[in-house]
Structure 1
Amino acid sequence: MTKRRSPAVAGALGILVVVLATLSALSLDSLPIVGAGATYKAQFSEAAGLKPSNEVRIAGVKVGTVTSVDLEGDRVVVGFRVGDAWVGDQTSASIQIKTILGQKYLALDPRGSDTLDPSDQIPLERTTAPYDVIEAFSSAAETVSEIDTEQLAASMQTLSEAFSETPGDIRASLDGVSRLSETIASRDQQLQALFRATGQTSQILADRNEEFTRLIRDAGTLLNELNTRQQAIHQLLTGTQRLSQQLTALVRENEEQIGPALAQLNGVVGILNENNAELDKAMKLYEPFVRLYTNVVGNGRWFDQVVVNVLPPGLPDIPGYREPVRTLGVN
């Protein structure tokens, strides 16, 4: 007698199998045997906005993705995976700007005679990090907003008074610095509004990064479609040109036969024009014949016709007696 397994145990085993299959599918790309290429590392002086999942490109073609961005001492170590591409032992790397909104990607320049060992990192001497303009504006806005411009102006004024007994050149320099600080203090609200608006604009552009990327991608699709239509129109015009050339050659080859045929056709048309009046007269005479013939045979399988002048016409009935014109036997 077999012992049946409990439904709860079977359900738990089924859920465990599904979870393990899901985890395996999600981590399939990170497995060393079936993963999408080898994983390398490069040292940079700063991250410059590079993030995991950013693209890795060689000569503008995507060959992998960034897997990690970690800080190790005074440098940033970027891990990236490359598939279906050769990476040499003298390869250089740089962080490039992908879009005007500040999205980055890792660019590789494969060099060297041997393949790069995944355990060897690309050193700082062969890496380049860009200057992040958006981050600089944001930092400048935060720094300016934290400065007490009124206190700065007062400090400059006090410094100018303290050096009032110094030679004229130094006093003029300090007076200029004091006036500059006063000007900055008087424009404090405008500067703060300007940097605040710059920060908001940068944030809005960063938030709309996906939309701009989609717009650029759709523009590429539109250009591809226009290119396809242009090729189709080119093929149509080329085919029309070839057809015209073939028709021209056909006309030239049959010119000797076409000429006499057209001349004969012109003669036939002339004869028809000359006999047009006779044809019109025949059609007019044919009309009453058809009408009478239709009346004769229109009653079925026999002819409906009247024969006249067979008997003499009847004499008129005149009352009274009339003498005969001539009497037989009488001279």
Structure 2
Amino acid sequence: MTFRTPAQNAARGLIGTMAIALVVTASLNYDKLPLVGGGNVIHAAFDEVGGLKDGDAVTVSGARVGKVRDVRLDGDEAVADLVLTDREVELGSSTEARITTVTLLGRAAVELVPSGGGRLGPGDTIPTSRTSSPYNLTATLNELTTTTADIDKDQLAGALDQASKALSGTRDDVGPALKGVTDLTAAVEENEDELRALLARAARVSDVLASRNEQIETLLVSGESLLEQLNARQAVVVSLLASVQDLSTQLRGLVEDNRATLGPALDQVDAVVTVLNRNKAALQAAITGLRGYVTGIGEAISTGPWFDAYIQNLTSPGTLAPIVSGVVK
């Protein structure tokens, strides 16, 4: 038989206690162990944590497939670690995540919506562009309680009293106004389909305008350049009109100054034109006869450095008399 000392028994008891504590701790946090529970963990980044905390459920189509292990801040985002205990669930590379409220007391859960091809593997992160946060009823009610507590009840009562007095004086007008609002609501309800179609078409027009943004911007810039050119041309036209007006003034003055001279000169020109018109046929016949003469003299001149010409009756005394008398004078 082997006897152990009290010190040996105390050491063995301490080692056993530590081993039991480690086993209990590991069993409570098995999902955080590097080789057991941490191999199928994905991350989801949210703009608003929405009351999400450790231990909340992770679901797909309402079925629980895991739980939230940790929620922490990463810059201006809240990142949740999602441990997937269901190894058979398949999540595409475009999977979305949204925080939902499962109880009226504000208990939250993460609902995954599988989407896209490929596969969302362990360690991957769902970005904020594919996540959404819930409307937190509890926080809103708390905020409402705080807001209503700050309301000045006496001031509110006075305001309601003044509103009641004001409305009592316009009783005859309020009724028709409310009836008009009711009729307008009914008309809108009757034409709901047309309004929806109109809004849909307006949305399509907005999309087209948004897709043509660069072309519209280019058109506006070109229009601005065109207006600048038109303004420049307008200044040129205004200057031209001013110059024409000055020229007209100068011409009017010239006419006034030379009216006594221009009148007789124009009359003489008119007389010359009248004589030319009267002798038009004779002038045309002379030009026609000149054609033969010019042809003959051209042929004579082209024979050499000199040419022979004969002027009929040149030696006749009757012909020479005017020439001699002109020379003597």
TM bracket (short chain)? 0.3 to 0.5
More helix by share: 2
